Amino acid sequence: MTWLLGLTVFWLAWANGANDNFKGVATLYGSGALGYRAALWLATGMTLAGSLVSIALARGLTQTFSGKGLAPDDLLRDPSLLFAVGAGAAVTILLATRLGMPASTTHALVGALAGVALVAGHGHADFGKLWDSFFKPLILSPVLSMGGAAVLYRVFRGARLAMRVGGETCVCVGSDAVAAAPYCSPSQSVASAGLRGAPSMMVGERRECVARFGGRAEGLSVQSIVKGAHLLSGGAVCFARAVNDTPKIAALLLATGAPAIGWKLAPVALAMSVGGLLQARRVAETMSRRITELNPGQGLTANLVTALLVLGASRLGVPVSTTHVSCGAIFGIGAARRSLRWMALLQIGITWLTTLPMGAAVAAGLYWGLAG
């Protein structure tokens, strides 16, 4: 059973990577700051880095997700129970990935732990601990990120207007229409009649349009500063996500008494990275394009809020969901701009509501079948 548990941990890490790896760079892809492949490789590199340093920064999460206190200790050393938890969470996350919906590995694991504890512990799962240790932070984190992103967006926007930093004017030419827009790609540019002081003008296809800021600060273009900060923030979110998620997955090994530290985390990190490289596309499109339109400044704002909340929670051993935090931040930007797409929000909300009970049902069914 031990080797099967090891494969299950690898499978869960793969599912986590497929659904979660791109979330840190979704704003980079959605705003046009990076193409899909470039964003994906940035996410992969930072995920590996975060995974490999996660034990030093997030030991508390490994203990939290070992299930100690949620069910009797003798049950938590049962490999079949741990297999059911890991497999139940993996099935839940892979199904959401197939549907293109961002789902929470944290929710899936919590649901699986609760479902198996009910079956294995004969109804004596500690729901008080479940509420205090898991549900509270999972409910509060998206609310905090949504509010934080909305407030920070207005602060940054006010500062930009005070500094008189505006958007560049351009003309985007599509296959069917010509339309004026406040932004487009610099791939095709023309001088605006060579007039000194005239607003810059760029010409490109509509699909290339991305937001650009005019002006300079300290000898550097504002656009370059914002893009550089946006890239750093995307990498920070991917790093923070890996720091937060890797110990949760490694906890399944720790519960058996196996040391889940040091180089033995490498297979988990590798599986998370490969899963993201091969299966991230559908969730990437949902996160990047379907929730709201973003420019690089708005994406930077969302990423800063996400990285700060997730890294802070990891350091404190609080199990927040990177999915909920990152989506909440994008929701906050969309709400502040009044450009939120409510159908996408509804679909994501339904996914979040069903993740925990589905994880519980699948894990409980697997354990019941093994125990029977």
- Dihedral angle, C-alpha 50, 51, 56, 57, nearest 10 °: 50
Q: Is 281 found in the same domain as 185?
A: no
180 and 148 within one domain: no
Question: Would you say residue 61 lies in a domain?
Answer: yes
**Is 224 among the domain residues?**
no
Does 95 share its domain with 116? yes
Q: Based on the domain organization, do 156 and 191 belong to the same domain?
A: no
Task: Identify the domain containing residue 187 by its residue range.
Answer: 168-210
Which of the residue ranges 5-19, 202-216, 228-242, 307-321 would you say has the lowest mean pLDDT? 202-216
Q: What is the pLDDT of residues 342-354, one digit of tens each?
A: 898 899 989 988 9
Q: pLDDT tens-digit profile of 16-65?
A: 999 999 988 998 998 888 899 999 999 999 998 888 777 665 555 555 55
- 264 and 204 in a common domain: no
Q: Do residue 151 and residue 175 come from a single domain?
A: no
Residue 156: per-residue pLDDT? 84
**Same-domain pairing of 156 and 172:** no
> Residue 119 — pLDDT band, cuts 50, 70, 90?
confident
Mean pLDDT across 288-297: 85
Residue 129: band (very low, low, confident or very high) from pLDDT cuts 50, 70, 90: low
Q: Domain check: are 43 and 154 in the same one?
A: yes
Averaged pLDDT, 103-132: 74
For 144, residues 6+ apart whose C-beta sits below 8 A from its C-beta are 309, 325, 328
| Shared-domain flag, residues 359 and 253 | yes
User: Is residue 222 assigned to a domain?
Assistant: no
Query: For residue range 139-169, what is the model confidence (pLDDT) as tens digits?
Result: 788 889 999 999 998 998 888 777 766 555 5
Residue 176, domain member (yes or no):
yes
pTM: 0.76
How many domains does the chain divide into? 2
> What is the C-alpha separation between 364 and 372, in angstroms, rounded?
12
Domain assignment of residue 292, yes or no = yes
pLDDT tens digits for range 315-344: 776 767 788 888 999 999 998 888 888 898
DSSP string of 284-351, one letter each residue: HHIIIIIS----HHHHHHHHHHHHHHHHHHHHHT----HHHHHHHHHHHHHHHHT---HHHHHHHHHH
Q: Residue 264 falls within a domain, yes or no? A: yes
Give the bridge partners for 167, in sequence order: 213
**223 occurs within a structural domain:** no
Same-domain check for residues 105 and 191: no
198 in the same domain as 135: no
pLDDT at 71 over 60: no
58 and 157 belong to one structural domain: yes
